Amino acid sequence: MSQYLDYLGISGTGKVNHQLCEAELIEAALKNQEGHLSDAGALVVNTGIYTGRSPNDRFFVDTELIHDKINWGKVNVPISEEKFNLIYEKVKNYLKEKELYVFDGYACADKEYALNIRFINELASQNLFVQNMFLKPNQQELANFAPKFTVIAVPGLKLNPEVDGTRSEAAILVHIEKRIILVIASQYSGEMKKSIFTTLNYLLPEQNVFPMHCSANVGSDGTTTLFFGLSGTGKTTLSADPDRKLVGDDEHGWSDNGIFNFEGGCYAKCINLSKQNEPQIWDAIRFGALVENVIFHEGTRTLNYDDGSITENTRAGYPISHIPNAVVSGIRLIG
């Protein structure tokens, strides 16, 4: 067994690539025919039939530990431990002989609340996404890294709703007690990002932290501004202000210490993106960035951001360091 998989009971896989750098992941993705490079150097992929999150396919494993802590209903849908175990066995069998990509990172820039996460990906391009989106441990932290949650993403596996108790061939299963998240059948990378946000919404309030779906930036006078809104309503665009310092573009916590970013990257909606109106985002989509479902101008490798023929929800994920005036620490202390 691989030292990175043995605690999960996963065996018989092919090569396990741990903590590859962005160049290595891009090389692997191109070799595996997962996508193409744009003329700016970004890796461009098509995510197939799933071009956005699939909220109807998300489930929480209903256990005694969490049963009375979740408001069950249309949004928070339960699935039994029995069904989860059945699906998990399918995932483990599916991974046999497959080459895998593993990234160890964490959420929450304030180390007091940091959540260590191991991401196990079937696709090199999705592993590039999580490396961009989450925070990277330093060498000492990596040497002593112990995952508190594990995310396993297998877009190539399809479920059978009649057998597996799901609503479609896809499922996002969050098992709080076992600290495992399964992302199945969807290649849309936002599912991994939002599954962690969902988990933090469960964990952090018990630590007296208020989770917020918002972007944040800081002015020259030291004032912090928060931009709230649903996905795609402009949080990333508004917070990427050349006259203010970006703390983060989407998810933050508010504790007694101050505001802190949950993530280490940005996930910008790209439809109708222009250099004139959004220069910082435009320039951030370069080597190291992952672009989803944007068409090239015919006969070129130039991205056509005005083309929404695949989806209006075109996206680009890139590290926050691609924004020149970002608060790379991700923390805005109070006092």
Q: Is 286 a catalytic site residue?
A: no
- Catalytic: 194? yes
Please report, for the chain, the start and end positions of each structural domain, with discontinuous segments joined by +.
Answer: 15-34+53-207, 210-333
- Measured CA to CA in angstroms, residue 13 lies from 66, 96, 155, 214 at distances of 32, 4, 16, 39
The active-site residue, picked from 47, 215, 236, 314, is 236
| CATH number among 2.170.8.10, 3.30.450.40, 2.40.50.90, 1.10.1380.10, domain 210-333 | 2.170.8.10
53 is catalytic: yes
CA dist 293 and 310 (Å) reads 6
From 90, 315, 322, 332, the catalytic residue: 315
What pLDDT is recorded for position 335? 45
Q: How far is CA 95 from CA 12, 100, 133, in A?
A: 8, 8, 24
Residues 15 and 26 sit within 8 Å (Cβ to Cβ): no
- Burial profile 137-175: b = 16 or more Cβ within 10 angstroms, e = fewer: beeebeeeeebebbbbbbbebebeeeebbbebbbbbbbb
pLDDT on residue 334 = 63
Residue spans of the chain under pLDDT 70: 1, 334-335
Domain 15-34+53-207 coded CATH 3.40.449.10: yes
Look at strands 171-175 and 58-61 and give their pairing: parallel
Alpha-carbon separation of residue 72 from 75, 113, 174 (angstroms):
7, 26, 14
* Catalytic residue flag (residue 167): no
As beta bridge partners, residue 246 has: 217, 326
Catalytic residue among 213, 225, 283, 311: 213
The active-site residue out of 54, 90, 250, 314 is: 250
Polymer length of the chain? 335
Please report where in the chains the tokens 């890294």 appear, as a residue: 145
Comparing CA positions, the residue from 107, 76, 93 lying closest to residue 152 is: 93
What are the CA-CA distances from residue 156 to residues 84, 89, 121, 149, 191 (Å)? 18, 15, 11, 22, 15
- Catalytic: which of 90, 175, 193, 235? 235
Instruction: Identify whether 179 is a catalytic site residue.
Output: no
Which residues have a Cβ under 8 Å from the Cβ of 306 and sit 6 or more positions away? Answer: 271, 272
The string of DSSP codes covering 134-146 is: SBPP-HHHHHT--
236 is catalytic: yes
Q: What is the pLDDT of residue 286?
A: 98
Strands 100-107 and 180-184: unpaired
**Residue in the structure block whose two tokens are 């956005």:** 52
What pLDDT, on a 0 to 100 scale, did the predictor assign at position 328? 86
Identify the active-site residue in 90, 194, 244, 245. 194
Catalytic residue status for 250: yes
Q: What is the pLDDT of residue 219?
A: 93
